[in-house]
Chain A
């Protein structure tokens, strides 16, 4: 299943929603989306992985490099609700120590305030 990427603004910061399979063929789109969210100056970026069925090392590298960029500005990349296979990949690679993995984050709540 091809990767679908979308982003929305929650009250704490942007939420990037991934669904499908993330691999070498989709890393550039993932990198661009995260760069766009980071360019807003956000210090909390949340990746909703609940519909992400696969993640390869190239995609993981993009996520970890984004997390490091956020850490450099005292920010955090939250990687929320990974499926078991993706969670296992994070554990095997030790990426679960580099990302803030949250098994049951409540995303997008409360909704963004009207501006």
Chain B
């Protein structure tokens, strides 16, 4: 057990667990107050209840940037891109240490955890160029065991309500991290409405449009059309033929599988890193589909690689 030397700027990604508002306060208030006192930007991405609670505890809540926009955590790729832009602005304005604390969505706080396991792992490297101190706090009384397990495997150190730090022996580096297997989608139990062999992206886009019309809101269908086309382009450029597209619909939901017989992307950050940070804009297809309002799962199996996209509820 050790205590972090005060005032040392750097890059940290740490986790804390609490079971009461008092423990939550003990974990977050010193983190925020120390940052404010040191003149560091502090960014908080909490829901209304936790943000109000924190405001009521702070000496000067006006010195803290509360991001009320719920779209910050709309998808993991969007959260990474949004924070990236915030960090760029703060560094340009002269910041030498930035502190952030936000709530990753999971079923215990009214969200869905699917995909956020990869986000928590990616957060260890994706902002390497920025001096970011990120403190992720999980409510151990509401988070599911698998969420707490991911939290424990994706943060190099644990902070206790006492303020002490523990080196985390369960931490897995990005390369070693084992994400959660995607849950099966109920629609997959039935036969797809259509199955297409080696389709073009345009054929799949038009099939999604005609099969999905009226099944989900127009904006959700639009995102699925874009995402399905990107999945086919990705398979055709980076995967191995044959490429198979399958589309299911049912009860306000549309599901698309785009399967190829290649191994899938080797990069654990595939789809999560803002494409404009890469000189040749590589990986734009997977990134764009992760930026849309879709449930995206990358599924590797013995017979190849599947991008699974779902729109609706």
Taking a contact as CB atoms under 8 Å apart, the answer to whether B202 and A25 are in contact is: yes
Number of A-B contacts (CB under 8 A): 61
Q: Which of A8-16, A41-49, A55-63, A69-77 contacts B (4 or more CB under 8 A)?
A: A55-63
In B286-311, the 8 Å CB interface with A consists of 287-288, 291-292
A105 part of interface (Cβ distance < 8 Å): no
Enumerate B205-240 residues with CB–CB distance to A below 8 Å.
205, 222, 226, 229-230, 233, 236-237
B285 touching A58, Cβ below 8 Å: yes
Instruction: Take A23-B229, A89-B226, A94-B274 as given contacts and tell me if A54 and B281 are in contact as well, using a CB distance cutoff of 8 Å.
Output: no
Contact A56 B233 (CB under 8 A): yes
Contact with A along B274-289 (1 / 0, CB 8 A): 1110001100110110
The residue on B at minimum CB distance from A1 is B202
Contact of A57 among B81, B85, B284 (CB under 8 A): B284
Task: Please report the C-alpha to C-alpha distance between residue A98 and residue B229 in the assembled complex, in whole angstroms.
Answer: 23
Q: Which residues of A contact B100 (CB under 8 A)?
A: none
A20 CB to nearest chain B CB (Å): 10
Check A24 against B236 for contact (C-beta < 8 Å). yes
Name the residue of chain A whose CB is nearest to the CB of B286: A57
| Contact count band on B | 20 to 34
- Look across to chain A and name the residue whose beta carbon is closest to the beta carbon of B283: A57
Q: Is A65 close to B, CB under 8 A?
A: yes
A92 in contact with B288 (CB, 8 Å): yes
Task: Tell me whether B202 and A65 are in contact (CB under 8 A).
Answer: no
In the complex formed, the residue of B with least CB distance to A26 is B202
CA distance A61 to B85 in the complex (A): 20
Whether A85 sits at the interface, judged by CB under 8 Å, is yes
Closest to B285 in A: A57
CB contacts under 8 Å to B, within A16-54, are 21, 23-25, 54
- List the B side residues contacting A23 at CB < 8 Å: 201-202, 229, 233
Contact A93–B229 (Cβ < 8 Å): no
24 contacts between A and B (CB under 8 A): A21-B202, A23-B229, A24-B201, A24-B233, A25-B201, A25-B202, A56-B229, A56-B233, A57-B285, A57-B287, A57-B288, A58-B233, A58-B284, A61-B281, A61-B284, A65-B280, A65-B281, A89-B226, A93-B275, A93-B276, A93-B284, A93-B288, A94-B85, A98-B276
